[in-house]
Amino acid sequence: MTFRPILERTEKRPILIAGPCSAETEEQVLQTARELASDGRIDLYRAGIWKPRTRPGEFEGVGAPGLAWLKKVKEETGLKVTTEVGNREHVFEALKAGIDVLWIGARTTVNPFTVQEIADALRGVDIPVMVKNPVNPDLKLWMGGIERLYKAGITRLAAIHRGFSFHGETSYRNVPHWQIPIDLRRNFPDIQIICDNSHICGRRDTLQEVAQKAMDLNFDGIMTEVHPTPDQAWSDAAQQITPAQYNAMIESMSFPEANS
Ligand code: PEP
Ligand code: MN
């Protein structure tokens, strides 16, 4: 399999993806985007509008109306935007709205029927897709999700490493099991791998160290959750950081030459 990069870029530096866990209001989506765009650092703006929550009763996303807010982000800031899709309807809505890059969440990658449904909905469409690892530490299931999309003709594919569920004492929200993304790279040598430090850490104070570890392993990028008022976030409050904290984190990291 030959994968193409998810974004056209000339600089040899890591792909930086940032934005809130969830789109909450138009103002929150635009304010976060403006602050990130004014720094000129990020390549792609993320915001979840369909949120698959582990348990019922939590905020499940604003849904399709949030697509219009992401469209405004594009128009106003020029940033490219990405959101999570979890079924065929999400795909059709996102394509109609001009979303630049799609991602498949960890709770979707575990289900081959759903990944296949998404792949079939994308047949004949040339759009970049990022596939998060499944919640469980299963390299083959992650590879299988990527292969389903590839077989449907999607070749601008990246893998997002967001860590793996673990029952017991750990300082991580999702344990990284670094050997799994390393093994993914062994199987798919030219796939871009993005580290989602936010969902690995689940807290703010370890975000930089995990992102740095990914860079030291020559991952291709970092995806981080950024919110203007993290403590008030409607989802994943404990792990989100402000745009200023994000900029400070990136500033103090070192990026090896080899990162794409
Ligand atoms: C997210 O990116 O906000 C998300 C729901 O992540 P994951 O699928 O990795 O849990
Ligand atoms: Mn999140």
- The rounded percent of the chain whose pLDDT value lies above 70 is 98
Residue type, 11: E
ipTM over 0.95? The verdict is yes
In this structure, the residue with its CA closest to atom 9 of ligand 1 is 106
What tens digit of pLDDT does each residue of 116-155 get? Answer: 999 999 999 999 999 999 999 999 999 999 999 999 999 9
Instruction: Return the residue whose CA atom lies nearest to atom 10 of ligand 1.
Output: 106
For residue 249, the model assigns a pLDDT of 98
Q: What is the mean pLDDT of residues 150-176?
A: 98
State the average pLDDT for the chain: 97
| Whole-angstrom distance, CA of residue 224 vs CA of residue 54 | 20
Mutate to test the pocket of ligand 1, among 196, 197, 200, 222 (most ligand atoms within 8 A of CB): 196
Instruction: Please check the confidence at residue 25 and state whether its pLDDT lies above 70.
Output: yes
Give the separation between CA 107 and CA 123, rounded to whole angstroms.
22
- Per-residue pLDDT at 259 exceeds 70: no
Q: Which of 32, 51, 84, 164 to mutate to test the pocket of ligand 1 (most atoms within 8 A of CB)?
A: 84
For atom 2 of ligand 1, the residue with the nearest CA is 21
Given a cut of 90, whether residue 108 has pLDDT beyond it is yes
- pLDDT for 257 equals 67
User: What pLDDT score was predicted for residue 28?
Assistant: 98
Distances in Å between the alpha carbon of 44 and those of 70, 92, 99, 220? 11, 21, 11, 13
- Among residues 79, 87, 82, the alpha carbon closest in space to that of 111 is found at 87
- The pLDDT value recorded for residue 9 is 85
**37: CA distance to ligand 1 center in Å?**
22
- Does residue 192 contact residue 206 with C-beta atoms inside 8 Å? no
The SS3 call for residue 248 is helix
Closest ligand 1 atom, residue 160 Cα: 9
- What's the rounded mean pLDDT across residues 41-47? 97
**What pTM was estimated for this model as a whole?**
0.97
pLDDT of residue 204: 98
Q: What is the DSSP letter of 231?
A: G
Which residue has tokens 């030219």?
Answer: 190
Residue 87 has pLDDT above 90, yes or no: yes
- Lookup: tokens for 260: 């794409």
Single-letter residue type at 94: A
Confidence of residue 163 (pLDDT cuts 50, 70, 90): very high
Please, are residues 241 and 224 in contact by the beta-carbon 8 Å criterion?
yes
**Separation between Cα atoms, residue 205 and residue 47, nearest integer Å:** 22
Which residue has the CA at smallest separation from atom 6 of ligand 1? 105
CA–CA dist 201, 147 (Å, integer) = 28
Q: Ligand 2 being an ion, which residues bring their Cβ within 5 A of it?
A: 21, 236
Closest Cα to atom 4 of ligand 1: 105
Q: What domains appear along the chain, each with residue ranges and CATH number? A: 18-251 (3.20.20.70)
What's the rounded Cα separation, in Å, for the pair 5 and 76? 25
Q: What is the pLDDT of residues 193-234, one digit of tens each?
A: 999 999 999 999 999 999 999 999 999 999 999 999 999 999
Cα gap 41→94, rounded to integer Å = 25
How many Å is the maximal CA-CA distance in the chain?
A: 45
pLDDT at 260 over 70: no
Between the CA of 21 and the centroid of ligand 2 the distance, in Å, is 4
Q: What CA–CA distance (Å, rounded) separates 108 from 115? A: 7
pLDDT digits (tens, 9 = 90+) for 4-22: 999 988 778 899 999 999 9
> From atom 1 of ligand 1, which residue's Cα is the shortest distance away?
21
Query: Which residues line the pocket of ligand 1, CB cutoff 6 A?
Result: 21, 48, 105-107, 132, 162, 199
Number of Cβ atoms within 10 Å of the Cβ of 68: 11
Q: How confident is the model at residue 258 (pLDDT cuts 50, 70, 90)?
A: low
Question: How far apart are the C-alpha atoms of 175 and 173, rounded to whole Å?
Answer: 6
Identity of residue 108:
T
> Is-contact 74 95, C-beta < 8 A?
no
